[in-house]
Structure 1
Amino acid sequence: MTDSQDQINLLLERLELLLKRQDEFSKEINILRKDINLLRETQVDTSLSDTISTTAPLQAKESTEKVVQDSVIGTQPAKTQVEKELSGIKKTPILKLDIEKFIGENLINKIGIVITVIGVAIGAKYSIEHELISPLTRIILGYLAGAGLLGFGIKLKQKFENYSAVLVSGAMAIFYFITFAAFSFYNLFPQGMAFALMVVFTVFTVVAAINYNRQVIALIGLVGAYAIPFLLSEGSNEVMVLFSYMAIINIGILIIAFKKYWKPLYYSSFGLTWLMFFVWFISKYETEQHFGMAMTFLSLFFLIFYMAFLGYKLLQKEKFGITDVILLLFNSMIFFGLGYSILHNQEAGKQLLGLFTLINALIHFVVGFIIYRQKLADVNLFYFIIGLVLVFITIAIPVQLNGNWVTLLWAGEATLLFWLGRSKHVTIYEKLSYPLMLLAVFSIFEDWSWVYGGYDPADSGTKITPLLNLNFLTSLLTICAFGYMYWIDLRERNSPNNKEPRNSYQTLISYSIPVVLVLIIYFALRIELVTYWDQLYLDSALVITPEGHDQPSYFWDYNIRSIRDIWTINYTLLFVSAFSLINIKKLKSHQLGVFSIVINCLVIAFFLFVGLYELSELRESYLDRNNSQYYHIGTWNIIMRYVSYIFVGITLLATYWYNKQEFLKLRFNIGYDLLLYISLLWISSSELINWMDILEFAQSYKLGLSILWGVYALLLIVLGIWKNKKHLRIMAFALFGVTLIKLFLYDISHLDTLAKTIVFVSLGVLLLIISFLYNKYKHIITNETKE
C-alpha cells in the first residue's frame, strides 16, 4: 500500500506542474496576440495574424497534450507548431531572392553579351556588304568598341566581379574577330602583326580567365572566337590563316588546362576544331595543294588536345573518369582516321601508312612511359595508354601486311590480352581484347571471301586442296585461339577463388565466345566443302560448237551444283548433331541446349524444303539424261537421297536425346512428336513421288499421295490410342481434313473413273476403320490422363 500511495503522490505533483505550465502557455498566447495587434498597426501582412489567432487555441491545446505526454515519459516538450510556421514564413522570401539573383546577375548578362557580340558581328557584316564605311574605319571602330567594353568591364571588377567577367569575355571575342577580319579580308595587317595581336589577345584572355577564376571568360572569349570566320563571311580561302587562328586559340586553352579543368571549355573547343577541320577536309581538301599543311595542323591540333586533356589531371594527380578516357580515345581515333585518309590519297604517303600508325603507337608509348616513371596518375590511366599503344601496333599490321597474317596476329593478341585480363584480373586488358576478337572474326571472314571466292579454272595456282591449304590452317589456329579463350572463361568462372560478381559485359562475353567459336568451326569446314564442289563445277565447263552452227554452246555439269547443296545440308545436319552430342555428354548447358534444339529443327526444316527439292532435281536429271554425252550421270543421283536420310535420322535422334536430359529441365514431347511425324510424312511423300516417277506412274501426285496420307492418318490414330497421345489423334484429323480437301478440289478433276473409285473407296474404308477404333477403345480415350 505504501508503494501505491507514493506513486499517486508523484502523479499528483506532476499534474500540478502541468497545470502551472498550462497557465504559462496561456500567458504566452496573450503576449502573441498583443504582438499581432502591434504588427497589424504597422500594416505588415494581415494574413499572419488571422492564421495565428484562429489556430492558437488549438495549437495551445496540442502543445499542452504534448507536454503532458512528454512529462509522463520524462522528456522535454518539443518546439511548438507556431514556431515552426513562423520559421517557415521567414525562409520563403530568401528562396525568391535567390532565383531573382540568379536571373538578374548571371543569366541576363550572359544573354546580353552574346546578343551584343552577335549584333556587332551582324553590323560589321552589314557595313561590309553595303560599303557604308571604309575598311580601315570599320576595323578602328571595332577595336574601339572592344576597348570600351573591356575598360568598362575592368572598372566594374571590384564591385561586380561576375558581371565584369562577362563583359571582358565579350570584349576579347570582339578583338579576335576584328583582327581576323583586318588581316584576312582587308589585308590591313601583315601576317606577323596579325598573329602577334592574336597571341597578345590569347595571353590576356588566359590571364583574365585565371585571374577572375571564371570559366565564362575562356568559354566566350576563346571558344566563341571559332564562330568569327563564319559570321563575317561564307568562308575564307585562306585556309592557312584559319587554321593558324584556330591553333592560337587552342594553345590558349592548353595553357588554361594546366591551371583549371573546365570541361565545357574543352568539349566546345574540341568539337568545333575537329568539326571545322573535317568539313574543310571533305569539301575543300586537294592533295596537291594542301597535303603538307593538312598533316601539320592535324598533328598540331592532336597534340594540343592531348596535352590539354592530360595536363591538369597529371599535375593535380587526379584520377581519370570515363569521360576523360572517351575524350582521349576520340582524339586519338580522329587523328589517326584523318591522317590515314590524307596519306592514303597521296602517292608517296601510301608508303608511309605503316610508319604513321607506328608513330601513333610511339606517341602513346612515350606518354605512358612518362606517366609510369613519374607516377603521375593512377594505374588505370597507364593501362589505358598502353592499351592504345597495343591497338595502334595492331592496326599497323594490316597496313603493311595482308591476308592470313593479319587474322592470326589479331587472334593471337586478343587471346593474350584476354588471358592477362581474366587471369591477372586486369580489367583494362580484358576490355581491350574485345575489339580485337571482333577484328579477328571480321578478318577471317574477309579472308574466306577473298581466297575461296577467287578460283580461276584457267589459273592452276588458284586451285585449293581441301583441308590441306594455308587458309584452313589459319582457320584452325583461329579456332584454337577462341577455344583457349573459352576454356579460360570456364576455368575462371568455375574457380572457387573467384568470388567477384559478374557484370553485364562479362556475361555477354561468356555467351559470345562459344557462339563465335561454333560459327568459325562450322564455316571453316563448310567453306572447304563448298569450295571443293565449286571447283569441280567450274572445271566441268565445256565450249562446243555443234556442226552446222556458228555460235558455240556452253555446258556445265549442273548435277554438281545440286550435289554440292545436298552435301552442304548433310554436313550441317551432322554438325548440329555433333554439337548436340557434345553438349549432352560434356557441356550440359541449358542455354546451349535450347539453342541447339531450335537449330536442329531449323536445319531439318531446311532439308525438307530445300534438300528434298535438290534430290528431286537429281532424280529428274537421272531420268532425262540431259548432257549425258558430256557428263557421267549414274545411280548416285538416286542413292544420294538415302545417304541424306541417315543424316536426318541422326539429327532427329540427337534432338530426342535432349528430351531425356535432366540438366535441360525441358520436356517437349508434343513438339518432338510433331517434328518427327511431320518429317516422316514429308519424306514418305517424297519417296512415293520418287518411285512412282521412276516407275512412270502418271497419277503419283494425285492418287498415290491421297492414299498415302489417309493410311498415315490411320497410323497416327492407332498410335494416338495405343500411346494415349491425344495430339497424335488431332494431327491425324488435320491430315484427314487436308486429304479430303485435296480429294474434292484437286483429285476429282484430274482422275479417271477407276482412279476416283480407288481413292474414294480407300479413304472411305480408312474412315470406317478409324471410327471403329474410336468406338472400340473409347473407354481408353475417355479415361486417359493428360501428359
Structure 2
Amino acid sequence: MNLDQRMDQLEQEIRQLAKEHNDTRQRLVRLYDELRLLRTQAGNPSQTAGAFAPPDVPESADEWGDLQQERYLATAPARGQQPLAQHGLEHFIGLRLIHLAGIIVLLTGISLGIKYAIDKDLISPLARIMLAYFAGIILLVISLRLKARYNFFSAILFSGSMACCYFTTYGALVYYQFLATSAAFFIMVALTVFTVVQSIYYNRIEIALIGLVGAYGIPFLVSNNTGRMDLFFAYVLLINTAVVFLGFRKNWQLVTRLAMVITWTLYLGWLLLDYNSAAQQLTAVLFASAFYLLFILAAFAGKFFRKIVLGSTDIVQVVLLNGLLYLSAVLVFPVNDSEPLVQTAILLILVAAWAVLTRWKMPDERQLFRFLFIQSLCLLILYIGFRWDGITVTLLWITVSVLMFSTGVIKRAGWLRVCSVLLIGGTLLKLITLDAVRFTTGQRIVSFIVIGILLLIGSFYYQRINTALKK
C-alpha cells in the first residue's frame, strides 16, 4: 500500500468515526431534551442541569469536516440555536457555491484575456497556447498544494485545471494546427486517465464527471471524420469498462448510469442517422452485445461481489437495457414493410429466460422477477400482435389474461391478477377503438360477450374476497 492509498484509507476511517461520533452526540442531545422535558413536567427542572449537561458543540467546520458541520447544524433548533435555514444557506454559499462560481469566473477571465491578446495581436499564437497551458498548470499546482487541508476547494481547482487543459489542447489542434490529430488524441486520453485517477484519490464524484465528459468528448473534438465506427465504439467500450470499475469501487452509480445514457444515445443515434446494414451489421451486433453485457454486469456487481439485494434503480437499469437491446435489434436488422417478428421472439426468449433464472437462482430478488415477467409479458403481447391479426389476436390476449388471473389466484399473487385485469382492459380498448371497424358483426358479438363474462367473473371474485374479509 503506497502513501496516497494509506492516506485515503485513513481519511475514510476518520470520516466514518466522526460520523458515528456525531450520530452519538445527536442522540445524546435528543435524550437530554427529553429528560429535561420530563423533569420540567415532574416539577424538578433543576435536577436536569449539572449531572446531565448536553455535550459541547464543535467550534468550526475545520474541527469536524464539512459533513460533520452539516449534521451538527441540522440539530441546531433542538439546542435553541439559530434555525437550519440560516446556517444551511450560509454553509451552502460559503463552502459550495462560491468555489464553483470562482472557478467559472476565473476560466472566463483567462479566456477573455487570451481573446483580447488575439484581437490586439499582442502575443504570437504559440505564446497564447503556452499561456493557457501555463494557467492550467498553475491551477493544478495550487490544487495539489491545498489538497491535504482543503480537499473540496482543491478538487474545484483541479477540475478547472483539467477543463483548461482540455480546451487548450482542442484549440491548439483546431484553430492553430500546432498538434497532429494523433498527438491531441493521446494528450486528451492522458488528461482523462489522470482525471479519473485523481477522482479516486480525491474521493470526489465531481472530478469523475468532468473526466467522463472529457473522455466522451475526445473523439468529437479530434475527429477527422474517417467513419471508422468500429474504432470509435472500441474506444467507448474501453472508457465504459473503466467507468464501470470506478463506479463499483467508489460506489458512484451516477457515473455509471450517465455513461450508460451517453453510450446508448451515441449508439442509437448512429443506427438512426448513419448506419449501413450491408457493411456494418457485424459491428453493430458486436458492440450492442458488449454494451448490454457490460452495463448488466454493472447493475449486478453489488449482488455478485457485495452480496446485497438489488436496488430499485438497478432493477430499472436491467429492464431499460432489455428495452434498448430490443430497439437496437429492430434497427440493426431492418425489415421492410413488415413487423419485427424475429427480433421480438428472440428478445421474448431472452427476457423470459432472465425471469426464470432470477426465480431459480435469486429467489430473494422478487421485484426483479416481477419486472422481468411483466416485460416478457409485454413482448409476448407484441409477438401475438405481429404474428396474427383480427379476432385471433383478441382471443389470444384474452387467453393469456385468463391464465395469468388463474395463476394469480392459485399462487395468491396480487400483482399477477392486476396484470391480468390491465390486459383485459387493453383488449377491451383495442376492441372498441380498432377492431370495431374491422370485425364482422359476429366477431364483435363474440368478443364483447367473452370479455364481459370475464370481467363479471373477476368482479365476483373480488366481491367474494371483500365479503370474506368483512367476516
CA drift at 1:254: 1.9
Q: Which stretch of the first structure deviates more once superposed, 365-374 or 114-123?
A: 114-123
1:265 and 2:235 equivalent? no
One-letter code of the match for 1:217? I
CA gap 1:448/1:164 in 2 versus in 1, 3 angstroms: same
1: distance between equivalents of 2:117 and 2:313?
Answer: 44
Normalising by structure 1, we get a TM-score of 0.40
State how far apart, in whole Å, the 1-side matches of 2:464 and 2:286 are: 53
Residue in structure 2 matched with residue 108 of structure 1 by the alignment: 98
| Corresponding residue of 2:401 | 414
Q: 1:324 to 1:389 in 2, by over 3 A?
A: same
1:366 and 1:228, CA in 2 relative to 1: closer, same or farther beyond 3 A?
same
SS of match in other structure, 1:159: coil
User: Do the aligned partners of residues 489 and 95 (structure 1) sit closer, same or farther apart at CA in structure 2, a change above 3 Å counting?
Assistant: closer
Q: CA deviation at 1:217?
A: 2.1
The alignment's C-alpha RMSD in Å is: 5.4
Match of 1:163 among 153, 173, 187: 153
Residue correspondence of structure 1 range 99-498 to structure 2 within 5 A:
99-113=89-103, 149-172=139-162, 188-190=180-182, 194=185, 198=189, 204-223=194-213, 226=216, 238=227, 240=229, 243=233, 246-262=236-252, 264-266=254-256, 268-275=258-265, 293=283, 296-312=286-302, 315-320=305-310, 322-344=312-334, 353-365=340-352, 367-368=354-355, 371-375=358-362, 378-433=365-420, 436-437=423-424, 439-441=426-428, 444=431, 448=435, 451-452=438-439, 467=442, 471=443, 476=446, 479-480=449-450, 483-484=453-454, 486-495=456-465
Whether contact under 8 Å (1:260, 1:312) holds in the other structure is no
Equivalent residue letter for 1:379 = R
Instruction: Give, in whole Å, the separation in 1 of the partners of 2:218 and 2:117.
Output: 16
Unpaired runs of 5+ residues, structure 1, are 1-69, 453-463, 501-787
Letter in 1 for 2:465: S
Q: Is the 8 A contact 2:271 2:331 kept in 1?
A: no
Cα shift at 1:446: 7.5
Q: CA deviation at 1:493?
A: 3.7
Counterpart contact for 2:394–2:447, Cα < 8 Å: no
Shifted more, 365-374 versus 125-134: the winner is: 125-134
TM-aligned CA deviation for residue 497 of structure 1: 8.1
Is the 1:414–1:436 contact (alpha carbons within 8 Å) kept by the matching residues of 2?
Answer: yes
Distance 1:96 1:201, change over 3 A: same
The structure-2 alpha-carbon separation of the partners of 1:479 and 1:239, relative to structure 1 and needing over 3 Å to count, comes to farther
> Residues 484 and 335 from structure 1, CA distance in 2 versus in 1: closer, same or farther, beyond 3 angstroms?
same
- Asked whether the equivalents of residues 407 and 440 of structure 1 are also in contact (C-alpha less than 8 Å), the reply is yes
Residues 1:417 and 1:253: Cα distance change in structure 2 (over 3 Å): farther
Higher Rg of the two aligned structures: 1
SS of residue in 2 equivalent to 1:344: coil
Residue range with higher mean Cα deviation, 236-245 or 117-126: 117-126
Q: For 1:243 and 1:128, how far apart are their aligned partners in 2?
A: 37
Deviation of the 1:272 alpha carbon:
4.3
Structure 1 residue 476: Cα displacement = 3.1
Q: Structure 1 377/93 Cα, relative in aligned 2: closer, same or farther at 3 Å?
A: closer
Distance across 1 between alignment mates of 2:270 and 2:236? 13
Cα distance in 1 between the residues matched to 2:348 and 2:95: 49
| Alpha-carbon offset, residue 382 of structure 1 | 2.2
* Partner Cα separation in structure 2 for residue 150 and residue 376 of structure 1: 50
Give the TM-score normalised by the residue count of structure 2.
Answer: 0.62
Aligned residue pairs total: 402
Given that 1:110 and 1:166 are in contact with CA atoms closer than 8 Å, whether structure 2 keeps it comes out as: yes
Q: Secondary structure at the match of 1:258?
A: helix
1:643-699 Cα deviation digits (max 9, x unpaired): xxxxxxxxxxxxxxxxxxxxxxxxxxxxxxxxxxxxxxxxxxxxxxxxxxxxxxxxx
Instruction: Quote the offset at 1:409 in angstroms.
Output: 2.9
- 3-state SS of the aligned residue for 1:222? helix
Tell which has more relative contact order, 1 or 2 (C-alpha 8 A, sep 6+).
2
Counterpart contact for 1:421–1:427, Cα < 8 Å: yes
